[in-house]
Structure 1
Amino acid sequence: MPVALALFTSDLRLHDNPVLRAAVRAGDRVVPLFVVDSGVAAAGFAAPNRSAFLAGCLADLDEGLRARGGRLVVRRGDVVEETCRVAAAADAVEVHVAGGVSGYAHRREERLRAALEADGRRLRVHDAVVTVVAPGEVAPAGKDHFAVFTPYFRRWSAEPPRAVADPPRRVDVPEVDGLPVPSAADLGADGAAPGLPRGGEREGRRRLTAWLRNGVDRYAELHDDLAADATSRLSAYLHFGCLSPLEVVTRARGNDSPGAEAFVRQLAWRDFHHQVLAARPRAAAADYRTRHDRWRRDAGEFDAWRAGYTGYPVVDAAMRQLAHEGWTHNRARMIVASFLAKTLHHDWREGARHFLRHLVDGDLANNQLNWQWMAGTGTDTRPNRVLNPVVQGRRFDPGGDYVRRWVPELAGVPGPAVHEPWKLPAAVRSGLRYPEPLVDLAEALARFRAARGLD
């Protein structure tokens, strides 16, 4: 009887998983395999928050497979070596895997294909598993990717989607040795943030259903409201593949509200960044469009930024939320990225690294390219825009509730005055135990404009 192997990477789900579906169709028996990749830690991509979330994802996946007569086979080490060992032990004819977009994923895929072919086996790579539209599926004439979002979105929206695949009813697994499903401690999650969500497909699907029932209708009007906390919070489940982005879009399109339309647009941004990184893997670490910046280095400023003690309340609130939850609002991410890269004029890569150390949804394509967008070195058509943190705070947290939630030193400051505590009477200010502003915004703006040659 033929055996196929489904190698799970960023697709830790049973619903709408073309990798698992194809493996079930190709073989009478299937090895659902996850390798705890030693290369991820060596490359610096592992982080306690994501490790803790991953443990929940793997436990949930194993439970779902067992309910279908199977189990998750876990190995630890080099993905290529372990996959080949398992394939040989099970005499698997084919190995199925989701296509990746990073340079690391590309190299892993090339090594895996060569190693399997040398052993007489085939690698089947499935696109549009971690994205709605496969990277490279749509491109302008004569180019390999879209560099501007709006024309990409038009083509993306017109692309006919594949059908959403049902989960397999049964998964028969041959006798293959594996390790116990790892716990969070096994994966090195010591020091994880206290406010992390629970990982796994079941939790992701529960949240998706609740979001589409009770939240998405008002997304267009509330998605930038920091205090309302009215976004889906599905990003970690999408990053780990607990949710199919295609299924999310398909279900959201069943709602014809402006909120659902705006939500789908955000998922298109996710695909946009994946197709950029797939075409330009170096953009993970190098400027997509260089501005020849001579970035400043100031350890004290950077430490104040990452700890949430810049003296600008909305910046500090966002950075403290990141430390506590491993997540922060997209608008808040934009504000703190602009502050670091443009107000302080620090290298965007330093900020991106800090985010990847903390974000449970730390996706290389979205994180790096969003940072480049805000730094003005990426795909932004207005590369020199600077977000004023006071203006942003007043606009997107007008009552100051978001700031007071995360900056307890300012809990007693009423209303929008919380965004400019340095304007409070000296007697009040002295009792706040909150730092003075790290920099003068006007001076910082002039410095940035001079550095970019804009004056």
Structure 2
Amino acid sequence: MTMTSICLFTADLRLHDNPVLRAALDSAEQVVPLFVLDEAIEAAGFAAPNRAAFLADCLADLDAGLRERGGRLVLRRGDVARETCRVAEETGAGQVHIAAGVSRYAARREERLREALAGAGRELRVHDAVLTAVPPGAVTPAGKESFGVFTPYFRRWERADLRDPLGAPRVVRVPDGVASRPLPRAPKGTSPGLPAGGETRARERWRAWRASGLAAYEERHDDLAGDATSRLSPHLHFGCLSATELVRSARDAGGPGADAFVRQLAWREFHHQVLAARPDAASRDLRPRGDRWHGEGPEADAWRAGRTGYPVIDAAMRQLRHEGWMHNRARLLAASFLTKTLYVDWRIGAAHFLELLVDGDVANNQLNWQWVAGTGTDTRPNRVLNPLVQARRFDPDGAYVRRWVPELAGVRGGAVHRPWRLPEAERGALDYPAPLVDLDEALARFRGARGK
């Protein structure tokens, strides 16, 4: 056992069920719990205000939890490899422990860390099954690096052995005198309805939703107005909750709702294993269709502003701007409308989502967008989600639309989804645009572009 090791937190900002922290504690008498505010991520634009605010909450909660156990969080800013090596030099740490990532950037960070530490006679230990329950690459089809279709992946994923969740440590001993920057504060310009972050709130939310919402999840998860999803995606993105713990806890609860919820967790891991095998899918078509997408222009602007004239789409986009979050069914509708009804490049939509989503991560955001655009893993790449049909099915009384599009709050019944059909006197009193495109014409345009 060495005197000191470093637990380098990344997207695993928790004390419960954290194999990185446990391994660091087991390998040394003292541990430096380190987080580096990565200037490269900030320079690339991934530190969007909503995620920066949520991260500030997560770090404050992590620091508070460590202090309850006799430790503290050490915060640095700059290049991750340089700052980690600097802390190792200051403390004499012989090992650095980190969770395995799946993005191209995470792989490069790991490589640079390993080389820099080895040059000083130190070791990097990378731990799997931290950010996901089943590590990318743990289940693979014969002769391939990853599954390209969800259903066969899910069959194998379901049978994979999961490690036992780890409890939070009782004591964390941190070396004296390790310098730390002050904890960050939330930036200005965040969404007004942004949720609060941190492991404490995440665990409280899971316990409450497991007791009150999990059983009905299968039948209610697509109900736009009912808002019956777990809303745990931001906490999973920052690692305030363990996917392993959630899967085991949901399975213990049992029932159709739990099964449906676990399936959604598997979708998250499916995308992680795809990106691990194909890191270029973050910006390039996974399965090119020969598309000649439209670029930036008035249609994309109207979509971003929630002024398309299709109320369910506009409600979704306004929810995103207000909360930094969007209902999953609404994400599918908004993405289908942009890519297949407006035929705008999916990368434009993905970038807008990453600008606002507090749960925005490269694997799930980019690959969900590709799934909807038909350039990803969907086995029906040319399917188009009709916003009117979808609205009638998942927001039948218009409650979701009225919540987020106040111009239509006084429109009664199903007319709220087709306000252009109201009598002219009523329609003229609404500050709401006419439909941006005709759905039948847009469908014909898309099919012509795809050759279908």
Q: Which category describes the TM-score, using the shorter chain as reference length?
A: over 0.9
Alpha-carbon RMSD: 0.7
Match of 1:260 in 2: 258
Aligned to 2:405: 407
Is 1:423 matched up with 2:413?
no
d(CA) in 2 for partners of 1:129, 1:285: 25
> Which residue is 1:86 aligned to?
87
Deviation at 1:139, TM superposition (A): 0.1
C-alpha separation between the residues in 2 aligned to 1:128 and 1:415?
Answer: 48
Provide, for residues 287-344 of structure 1, a one-character-per-residue CA deviation record: whole Å limited to 9, x for no partner: 0000010011351111100010000000000000000000010000000000000000
Which amino acid is 2:299 matched to? E
- Aligned partner letter, 2:356: H
Aligned-residue offset at 1:195: 0.4
| 2:11 is aligned with 1:13 | no
Secondary structure of 1:370's aligned partner: helix
Query: In structure 1, how many angstroms separate the alpha carbons of the residues matched to 2:415 and 2:255?
Result: 35
Task: Determine if contact 2:282/2:362 at 8 Å carries over to the other structure.
Answer: yes
Question: Who is 2:122 aligned against?
Answer: 121
Q: Supply the distance in 2 between the matched residues of 1:417 and 1:216 (Cα, whole angstroms).
A: 33
Provide the residue aligned with 1:432 in structure 2.
430
Query: 1: distance between equivalents of 2:391 and 2:82?
Result: 50
Deviations 1:2-31 (A, max 9, x none): 211000000000000000000000000000
Alignment match of 2:361 (pick from 356, 360, 363)? 363
Per the alignment, in what secondary structure is the counterpart of residue 420 of structure 2? Answer: helix
Distance in structure 1 (CA, Å) of the matches to 2:179 and 2:142: 49
Alignment of 1:231-250 (within 5 A): 231-250=229-248
Show the counterpart of 1:345. Answer: 343
Q: Residue 311 of structure 2 corresponds to which residue in structure 1?
A: 313
After TM superposition, list the pairs within 5 Å mapping 1:12-161 onto structure 2.
12-161=13-162
Aligned-partner SS, 1:310: coil
Question: Could you say which residue in structure 2 is the equivalent of 1:330?
Answer: 328
Equivalent residue of 1:216, what SS? coil
Shift of 1:52: 0.4
Counterparts of 2:295 and 2:13 in 1: how far apart (Å)? 40
Describe the superposition over 1:154-190 as per-residue Cα deviations: whole angstroms up to 9, x where unpaired: 1000001001011111000002111121221xxxx21
Give the conservation status (yes or no) of the 8 Å contact 2:5–2:94.
Answer: yes
Q: Which whole-Å deviations, capped at 9, do the CAs of 1:411-434 have from their partners, x for residues lacking one?
A: 011122111111111111111111
- Is residue 295–residue 348 contact of structure 2 (8 Å, CA) maintained in 1? no
- Per the alignment, residue 5 of structure 2 pairs with 4
- Tell me, in whole angstroms, the C-alpha distance in 2 between the residues paired with 1:303 and 1:15: 43
> What is the distance in 2 between the residues matched to 1:294 and 1:179?
48
Q: Distance in 2 between matches of 1:75 and 1:104?
A: 19
Amino acid at match of 2:194: L
Q: Which residue number in structure 2 is paired with residue 220 of structure 1?
A: 218
| Paired residue secondary structure (1:249) | helix
TM-score, normalised with respect to structure 2:
0.99
Question: d(CA) in 1 for partners of 2:375 and 2:354?
Answer: 19
Q: Distance in 2 between matches of 1:130 and 1:201?
A: 14
Residue of structure 2 in register with 1:180 after alignment = 182
Identity %: 68
Aligned to 1:301: 299
Consecutive unaligned residues in structure 1, runs of 5 or more = none
For residues 23 and 169 of structure 2, the distance between their equivalents in structure 1, rounded to whole angstroms, comes to 10
CA contact (8 A) 2:296 2:348 kept: no
Partner Cα distance (2:73, 2:183) in 1: 8
Length-normalised TM-score, structure 1: 0.98
Query: Any stretches of 5+ residues in structure 2 without a counterpart?
Result: none
Deviation at 1:82, TM superposition (A): 0.1
Deviation, 1:349, is 0.2
- Of the candidates 263, 269, 272, which is equivalent to residue 274 of structure 1? 272
The one-letter code matched in structure 1 to 2:329 is R
The whole-number CA distance in structure 1 between the counterparts of 2:197 and 2:217 is 24
Question: Deviating runs (4+, > 4 A) in structure 1?
Answer: none
**Letter aligned with residue 131 of structure 2:** V
Q: Secondary structure at the match of 1:125?
A: strand
In the alignment, does 2:290 pair up with 1:288? no
Range 377-386 or range 253-262, more displaced: 253-262
SS in structure 2 of the partner of residue 63 of structure 1: helix
| Alpha-carbon separation, structure 2, partners of 1:441 and 1:368 | 25
Q: Which amino acid aligns with 2:391?
A: G
Is residue 445 of structure 1 aligned with residue 443 of structure 2?
yes
CA contact (8 A) 2:50 2:191 kept: yes
* More deviation, 292-301/397-406: 292-301
Match of 1:253, SS state, is helix
The alignment of Structure 1 onto Structure 2 pairs a total of residues equal to 450
Residues 298 and 100 of structure 1, relative CA distance in 2, 3 Å threshold: closer
1:225 is matched by which residue type in structure 2?
D
Measured against aligned partners, the alpha-carbon deviations of 1:255-289 in whole angstroms (never above 9, x if no partner) come to 12111110000000000000000000000000000
Q: Which residue of 2 aligns with 1:193?
A: 191
The reply on whether 1:202 has 2:190 as its aligned counterpart is no
